[in-house]
Amino acid sequence: MAMDDAREQMVQQQVRAWDVLDERVLDLLRQVPRERFVPEEHRYLAYADTEIPLPHAQHMLRPNVVGRLLQSLDLSGAERVLQLGAGTGFVTACLARAADSVRALELFDDLARAARTNLAAVGCGNVELVVADANELEGSAPYDAIAVTASLPRYPQQLERLLRPGGRMFVVVGEPPVMEAMVVRCVMEGACARETLFETVIDPMVNAQRPRDFSF
């Protein structure tokens, strides 16, 4: 009961208060037991307004950022989703409950193993979790939605090619102290529109290519 109360408090005081008003998203965050995805030593922080430490200097996203991510993707239950950066699987589980299927990439094998265990424990059978470097993705237009859960130093033009017309992508672009969280909508093949949602700072994607510094 204490975890249920903490979860509802998170939904009301952190997520809804941060302009997440889609009841489908709020219900998702009520249904998915976040504490199951938190390393045991940090479980007391499961519903705190903070990034929770993971191995390899990674962190779970704050609940309000997860809420904005899910709201921006506007999932109806029919989508094929790509997630870059599964971590221990919390965002993956939320996506899986809101979409038809999820393909999630995670660079670190131990995090991927933990995510598989956590996802199985909450009954998410529609996830394909792959150990892979998200920077090496290739292909074109197989996805209805893309969730990038680590920041990129520059806008990932190449990811637009993975979106079907009508598809959406959530991505955070930039470097500290200011990054822009944005939703990208594929208007038609080869044409996407970007909308900045808010400013934040989250972990950078490991191995992401950085812009070259100017030299004179």
pLDDT tens-digit map of 106-164 = 999 999 999 999 999 999 999 999 999 998 887 777 999 999 999 999 999 999 999 99
- pLDDT score at 190: 84
pLDDT band at residue 216 using 50, 70 and 90 as cut-offs: very low
- pLDDT score at 214: 41
Q: How crowded is residue 195: how many other Cβ atoms within 10 Å of its Cβ? A: 10
Residue 13 phi/psi, 5-degree rounding, is: -90, -25
Q: How far lies 173's CA from each of 63, 103, 119, 120, 152, in Å?
A: 19, 22, 28, 32, 5
Mean residue pLDDT across the chain: 94
pLDDT band at residue 1 using 50, 70 and 90 as cut-offs: low
Q: Which residue, among 215, 98, 113, has the nearest Cα to 145 in the 3D structure? A: 98
Q: How crowded is residue 144: how many other Cβ atoms within 10 Å of its Cβ? A: 23
Q: Is the pTM of this model over 0.85?
A: yes
CA distance 151 to 201: 8
What is the chain's length? Answer: 216
- pLDDT score at 158: 92
The single-letter code of the amino acid at 79 is E
Predicted confidence (pLDDT) per residue in 63-85, tens digit? 999 999 999 999 999 999 999 99
Predicted confidence (pLDDT) per residue in 53-65, tens digit? 999 999 999 999 9
CA distance 113 to 133: 15
Q: Distance between alpha carbon 18 and the CA centroid of its chain, in Å?
A: 17
